[in-house]
Amino acid sequence: MTIQVGDTLPATNLTTMTAEGPKPVSMTELSAGKKLVLFAVPGAFTPTCSVQHLPGFIEKNKELKAKGVDIVACVSVNDPFVMKAWGDDRNVGEDVLMLSDGNGEFTAAIGLEMDGSGFGLGTRSQRYAMIIDDGVVSVLNIESGPGLDVSSAETVLEQL
């Protein structure tokens, strides 16, 4: 079942890369007492993800923070090494927390998997953006097809 507005994030872990190596990130702990903008991409280094989706959240980061967002995070069904390399390539710095869902467990738990096998990608995440308040989904924007319409940084800004 797909996660809905009003649902609590599942108690799952994602992974981020640190100077010490891969580190688990509890979604429960990350979102506790915070306003979190979480957006997902089908794959690091893919065209729409690299040219539009991630850059939009980097460019709009100060505006998002000015509207009360504590953390902006990007999740993809890629390993943490790829997510780190992609973040470095796109110069995310501290603006966007790059999260790996390497096994797709979080994506499956929220019911937002997609079959990318036709493109050689296997099971990936649908493209979406959500606003999470203290662990509870308050806004959920899922793209209905390819492209970037409802999950852009600009759309999220309008919803804060």
pLDDT at site 116 = 79
Which pTM was predicted?
0.95
Residue 24 falls within a domain, yes or no? yes
pLDDT at site 124 = 86
Residue 2 falls within a domain, yes or no? no
Report the number of distinct structural domains present in the chain. Answer: 1
Per-residue pLDDT of the chain (160 residues; tens, 9 = 90+): 899 999 999 999 999 999 999 999 999 999 999 999 999 999 899 888 888 899 999 999 999 999 999 999 999 999 999 999 999 999 999 999 999 999 999 999 999 998 877 777 778 899 999 999 999 999 999 999 888 989 999 999 999 9
Separate counts of helices (H) and strands (E) for the chain: 7, 9
Residue 135 falls within a domain, yes or no? yes
- Per the residue annotation, which of 49, 132, 140, 148 is the catalytic one? 49
Domain residues for 56? Answer: 13-159
CA–CA dist 115, 104 (Å, integer): 12
Question: Residues 69-101: pLDDT tens digits?
Answer: 999 999 999 999 999 999 999 999 999 999 999
Residue 30 falls within a domain, yes or no? yes
Residue 8 falls within a domain, yes or no? no
**Which alpha helices (DSSP H) does 32-152 contain, by range?**
47-48, 54-59, 61-66, 80-89, 105-109
Verify whether residue 49 is a known catalytic residue.
Answer: yes
Largest CA distance in the chain: 41
Residue 38 falls within a domain, yes or no? yes
Average pLDDT of the chain, as a whole number: 94
Residue 5 falls within a domain, yes or no? no
pLDDT at site 63 = 98
Q: What is the CATH number of the domain that holds 132?
A: 3.40.30.10
